[in-house]
Amino acid sequence: MKLLRYGPVGDEKPGLLDESGRIRDLSSHLNDLDGSALAPERLAALSKLDTDSLPVVEGTVRFGVPLSGIGKIVAIGLNYSDHAKETNLPIPDEPIIFSKAITSLNGPNDDVILPRNCTKGDWEVELAIVIGSKASYVDEANALDYVAGYAVANDVSERAFQMQCTQWDKGKGFDTSCPLGPWLVTSDEIADPQNLNIWLEVNGDRVQNGNTRTMIFSAAHIVSYVSNYMSLVPGDVIVTGTPPGVGMGFKPPRFLKDGDTMRLGIEGLGEQFQNVKAYRP
């Protein structure tokens, strides 16, 4: 299933995308799409619904973040060796963990607002893992059993802020810096999360073009690893790193500015489009 939330900011409704690409309203079955809706038995019940019986949402609508009530966003840094090389940082021996603020969440096609005093705004298309069952000290062999599904994320960054200290959070957590969606694709539709094409364009120029098979640490390894240091609960999101082609890796570096556009996507998970705007009080 492709589960989503649609409507104005703060007033989104739950829905799903049918096989014809139409949005179907799920309001009669869910108050909202949150962590409690991701339990295996709840997803199984939703999958058995007669899609044709659900109301069609007509017209053009805004896609919101596809999940409400997200508890935490765990991010993995430098998870593609070519990306590590382009940033002149060592290839990690184990996953690098940092956090993105919950207030960084943004609809997949909403404007990205560069933070005040931004000089080095950057892009990072990433595979997002959405947790469906509580995971604590889980083995890698069955780690994906705890995953409800996957989504597209853009880990927008401010490199000057990021590199001012050893903790990356302040360069990664500004408002609108985590567009997520357009939908959450349940795990049963993704045969192998380690074989998905992943790409991003800036102003129509394809700057990132990779595949998740080149991740250093797989989705299963990441879920298992993170669960050894913190419990993962339904609705938590893990963003898993980006392939090469980020702005700081260009020679000379290429950074986001007011008026730029970003278009990005992952095979089977949909596309995002954002207009980039400067901060204005």
User: What is the residue-averaged pLDDT of the chain?
Assistant: 96
pLDDT tens-place string over residues 72-90? 999 999 999 877 777 777 8
C-alpha distances in Å from residue 245, one per residue of 46, 109, 206, 264 = 38, 21, 9, 12
Q: What is the mean pLDDT of residues 124-146?
A: 98
Dig out the tokens for 254 from the structure: 């290429």
Dig out the tokens for 104 from the structure: 């960084």
pLDDT at position 71 over 90: yes
Global pTM reads 0.97
How many of the other CB atoms lie within 10 Å of CB of 18?
15
Instruction: Note the residue count of the chain.
Output: 281
Sheet holding 205-211, edge to edge: 112-113, 270-277, 261-266, 197-202, 205-211
Confidence (pLDDT) at 178: 98
Place of tokens 């700081």: 248
Per DSSP bridges, beta strands 105-106 and 178-179 are: parallel
How many of the other CB atoms lie within 10 Å of CB of 122?
22
Place of tokens 């009080």: 281
Residue 75 neighbours by CB under 8 Å, 6+ apart: 97, 98, 99, 100, 155, 172, 238, 239
Place of tokens 């990664």: 172
Tell me if 136 sits within 8 A of 231, measured CB to CB. Answer: yes
Measured between alpha carbons, how far is 212 from 111 in angstroms, rounded to an integer? 26
pLDDT tens-place string over residues 224-244? 999 999 999 999 999 999 999
Place of tokens 């489009």: 273
Q: Which domains does the chain have, with CATH numbers?
A: 2-53 (no CATH), 73-277 (3.90.850.10)
